[in-house]
Amino acid sequence: MDTALAVAQEGGGRLIFTDGPLIHNPQAVEELRRHGIVPIENLAGMVSGTIIIRSHGISPQRFREIENTGAHIVDATCPKVKKVQSIIDVYAERDFCIVILGDAGHAEVRGLLGFAGNRGIVVQTEEDLADIPTTAKVCVVAQTTQNRGKFVDLTRKIRRRFPAAKTFNTICDANRKRQEELRRLCHQVEAIVVVGGRESGNTKRLAEIAESTGIPTLFGEKEDDFDRDSLKKYKSVGLIGGASTPDWVLKGVFDKLVAIKT
């Protein structure tokens, strides 16, 4: 968001677009709209102004489509995502089957598949492992917001079938730490409140991790999504936000929790 807001400040009146939602958080997207930064999906024809490539990254084909609009391009792809793109690019060129552990419909994964050409396979569950060709040389990467436990489990199963597989733990370190902190927090409170966009991969992962511990888990995008009566019955409540959750949204939920408990 900082990059987009800086572009708006320096824009000199130019139109500013993002290639789809910059991040998966409706409140953040609305805040960007207030600064004149608007998501765009249809790239037909020429575009006058600036197009910002979102943090999830895009495929090489999509990048060419944006170039063809004639717009000024600002690449805000997360450096962690760029690292995964680079790994895929190298191993696809060497004829490896690229196994991406992630959510098939997620924007980041769609972009990563573009770097794999026709060699990419998305694996979400153990059942999906059957789709990997038995004769393939295998390179394994992860969507940067994946659950680390799931990554370890699936890569172990892949290595049983493909001992020579090249595996890269490309989960963002900040997300890994947030997941570890959440697991510790789940043992210290009676319930967990997870705040973030419903389309946010890393936020949904936090909710899944909390639920897997058996603790009551409440998931919402903003303070109005959390029912006061549902929260009052817990003596202690843990609060965590996704990587894309704006500080002011998290603070709004925090203030509501404090008001309930006082």
Percent helix, percent strand, percent coil in the chain, to nearest 5: 45, 20, 35
- To the query of whether residue 10 is one of the catalytic residues in this protein, the response is no
Of 31, 108, 199, 221, which residue is the catalytic one? 108
Cβ proximity of 238 and 191 under 8 Å: yes
Please count the other Cβ atoms lying within 10 Å of the Cβ belonging to residue 154: 23
Instruction: Give, to the nearest 10 degrees, the angle between helix 26-34 and helix 247-261.
Output: 120
According to the 3-state scheme, what is the secondary structure of 115-134? HHHHHEEEECCHHHHHHCCC
- Beta strands (DSSP E) in 84-152 are 97-101, 120-123, 138-142
Give the whole-angstrom CA distance, residue 21 versus residue 49: 17
Please count the other Cβ atoms lying within 10 Å of the Cβ belonging to residue 206: 28
Give the whole-angstrom CA distance, residue 166 versus residue 155: 10
List, as one string, the DSSP characters of 202-224.
HHHHHHHHHHHTT--EEEESSGG
Cβ proximity of 207 and 183 under 8 Å: no
CA 11 to chain CA mean position, Å: 27
**What element of type H or E holds 52?**
strand 50-53
Contacts of residue 224, Cβ cutoff 8 Å, sequence gap at least 6 = none
The catalytic residue positions are 108
